[in-house]
A and B are shown apart, each in its own frame.
Chain A
Amino acid sequence: AQRVTQPEKLLSVFKGAPVELKCNYSYSGSPELFWYVQYSRQRLQLLLRHISRESIKGFTADLNKGETSFHLKKPFAQEEDSAMYYCALNKAAGNKLTFGGGTRVLVKP
């Protein structure tokens, strides 16, 4: 069965500092990985997916199949990045997401 692990419950960084959110997964097939974000009083929304290989709001994530990881990075954190971040995995066939437990990011001024 697939599993997604986000080892950090809380990350606190200062504005302008780099931030990296860790995500590890277990899945025997070829997965699709995503990062979802939930800002305060807003809905859960897609931030980025590994297939698109794009940078969204300065965030990037690289899928490392050898280490089964999909860490999210941003070189210079901004206060508006404060939110809950969830890593999610979709099996190659179907559209059913398995979410990690989430990491709360707090960017201090």
Chain B
Amino acid sequence: EAGVAQSPRYKIIEKRQSVAFWCNPISGHATLYWYQQILGQGPKLLIQFQNNGVVDDSQLPKDRFSAERLKGVDSTLKIQPAKLEDSAVYLCASSFRGLSYNEQFFGPGTRLTVL
């Protein structure tokens, strides 16, 4: 089966600009996750969707980050305006369900550099 798709793979922007990332999960997976992975650290969960509803966004910096999954399939994560400390790899993952443990499958990530 096709894996989790993400685009773009790389993005370079200046601080205070806006940027958006796109994720298409594995077909049939109800749960979608966005993680932020800063260089030298492990992934940190930003937001979790169950179908088109938000399950957990407690670690999402809501003053500048937003995410949506309008039709319960693909999702976009936006940063507006970007800061230097937002430089990271943004990983999308999906799982069949999310109410109890289901293996999460990760996409290749989008590497963001903020100058």
Interface residues of A, Cβ cutoff 8 Å to B: 4, 6, 9, 32, 43-46, 49, 86, 88, 90, 93-102
Contacts and interface: CB of A to CB of B under 8 A. Distances in A.
7 contacts: A43-B3, A45-B105, A94-B56, A95-B31, A97-B43, A97-B104, A98-B45
Contact of A94 (B3, B44, B91, B100): B100
B95 A95 contact: yes
Interface of B: 3-4, 31, 33, 40-45, 48, 55-56, 91, 95, 97-109
A96 B33 CA distance: 9
4 closest A-B pairs by beta carbon, nearest first, are A99-B42, A44-B106, A95-B98, A43-B106
A95 B42 contact: no
- The B interface is mostly helix, strand or loop, or mixed, namely loop
A91 to B, nearest CB: 10
Contacts of B56: 94, 96
A93 B95 CA distance: 15
Contacts of B31: 95
Contacts of B97: 95
B14 to A, nearest CB: 28
Contacts of B42: 4, 6, 86, 88, 99-102
Contact of B103 (A43, A46, A101): A46
Contacts of B100: 93-95
Contact of A43 (B98, B99, B108): B108
Given A43-B3, A44-B91, A44-B106, A94 B98 contact: yes
Contact of B99 (A49, A88, A95, A99): A95
A89 to B, nearest CB: 11
